[in-house]
Amino acid sequence: MGISELLTGPYRFMMGFVFWYPFAMALFWIAGSLLFLKTKESKNDTLDIENFDWPMVSILVPCYNEEETVEETVRNLTNLSYPKKEILLINDGSKDKTGEIIKRLSEQHGNVRAIQLHENRGKANALQIGLFASRAEYLICVDSDALLADTTPYYLIHHFFKKGERLGAVTGNPTIRNRNNLLSRMQLVEYASIIGAIKRTQRLLGKVMTVSGVVVAFRKKALVDVGLWDRDMITEDIAVSWKLQKRFWDIRYEPRAICWMLVPETLSGIWKQRVRWAQGGQEVILRHWKILFNWQQRRLWIIYLEQWTSILWALCWLFLTLLLLFKAETLQQMLIWFTFSSFALVFISLIQLFITLLIDSRYNPKLKYYFWAAWYPALYWMINTAVVMAAIPRSISSRIKGGYATWNSPDRGIKKKVS
């Protein structure tokens, strides 16, 4: 196979697709972030916290083997200034001392209740139990390693009174609090720029792929309308986002609703987390494929097709990489193409990371971590491709098998004071 063959037919199309798709999407995310900044964020009014009758909220904290983090999270939640709140700790059959800890916490704090489940049936099931026990119409779901900024509940809840009765959920803005090594600092850049840019742009399109499960507020009536969370889906946050939007409930993104979270700091921890995310996304697009034949769901088509396109891109990238490694006669030509395309993609990625990191730094300064962004593009493409490949058989198997999607407590990294 010579260079002339590589530049014709399916190989030419595949090489063009592998280059132009991430290049075009980077420009798309940049444009969406800047437009959101101008039309939404720049017009955000300062909340009049003191002169508003804030409604009761139920804060749901599902736990599985969280003896090292749950007490700090509860301390943070009980100290929030939000006036009317109850905190429900749901122990989903933990095998460590989580059950004992949340029982003690419920005895120490009058607005904390502990719910003890004796079998691990997954985060979605734990959230459902918490909803049944909750007393408020508005729910804030928080992971058991998360710390909320004091203003976060106000920023989440005010949307429900500002945007009308069809608002079903408001997703917050997670940021990383453990920043000890290369992996955690790269994720800090990713959450602030990549994930933030995607949510900003998708919100402008009218639909979002997923709320952030670590911090999100729901209208209880909306959850009941869609049948609550899917207990057979590995990522309950992605699944419920699609159910809400298919039933025409709106989802908003609030970048001022800051939540500090812990992320994995080992390759094995990141691998497990990302495979889980990829599997959850694939499960959703396999379950909801009929939206493509429903004109009323047309606003979800772009988000849906983008997910399939990302999977196709990973497959094409893998194929061309293997071709480069095992076809010696095309090695020189392929190396020239890979060098050029990689340089161009890294360049546009760094521009995207800088712009979107600058935007998100309005709420929590992170620009000093931009140096770590240089490592992100190269490692991300390799890891993402491997993750997609690993998730495909799992998502198909899960779709066939069904049953409860149980969970494991993820790698939380090393805690460090927020800076």
Q: Report CA 10 to chain centroid distance, whole Å.
A: 34
Arithmetic mean of pLDDT, 244-265: 90
CA dihedral 218, 219, 223, 225 (to 10 degrees): -160
Q: In what order do the strands lie in the sheet with 147-148?
A: 112-117, 85-92, 57-63, 138-142, 215-219, 167-176, 250-261, 147-148
Arithmetic mean of pLDDT, 66-85: 91
Q: Specify the pTM.
A: 0.85
Position 405 scores a pLDDT of 62
Is 391 within the bounds of a domain? Answer: yes
Is 138 within the bounds of a domain? Answer: yes
Looking at 260, 295, 330, which one is the last position of a domain?
295
Domains of the chain: total: 2
User: Please, what is the average pLDDT of the chain?
Assistant: 82
Arithmetic mean of pLDDT, 338-363: 78
> Mutual orientation of helices 301-326 and 9-39 as an angle, nearest 10°?
140
Q: For residue 25, give the 3-state DSSP assignment.
A: helix
Measure CA of the first residue to CA of the last residue in the chain; give whole Å.
54
> Mutual orientation of helices 98-108 and 70-78 as an angle, nearest 10°?
20
Query: Which of 100, 99, 79 lies closest to 90 in space, CA to CA?
Result: 99
112 in the same domain as 158: yes
234 in the same domain as 165: yes
118 in the same domain as 172: yes
186 in the same domain as 112: yes
Is 171 within the bounds of a domain? Answer: yes
Binning pLDDT at 50, 70 and 90, where does residue 418 land? Answer: very low
Position 12 scores a pLDDT of 72
**Quick check: 157 pLDDT over 60?**
yes
Query: Which of 208, 395, 238 lies closest to 303 in space, CA to CA?
Result: 208
357 in the same domain as 289: no
Looking at 243, 260, 295, which one is the last position of a domain?
295
Rg (CA), the chain: 22
Q: What percent of the chain has pLDDT over 90?
A: 26
Q: For residue 90, give the 3-state DSSP assignment.
A: strand
Is 406 within the bounds of a domain? Answer: no
327 in the same domain as 279: no
Q: Which domain holds residue 135?
A: 54-295
Is 41 within the bounds of a domain? Answer: no
CA dihedral 318, 321, 322, 324 (to 10 degrees): 160
Is 11 within the bounds of a domain? Answer: yes
**Quick check: 391 pLDDT over 70?**
yes
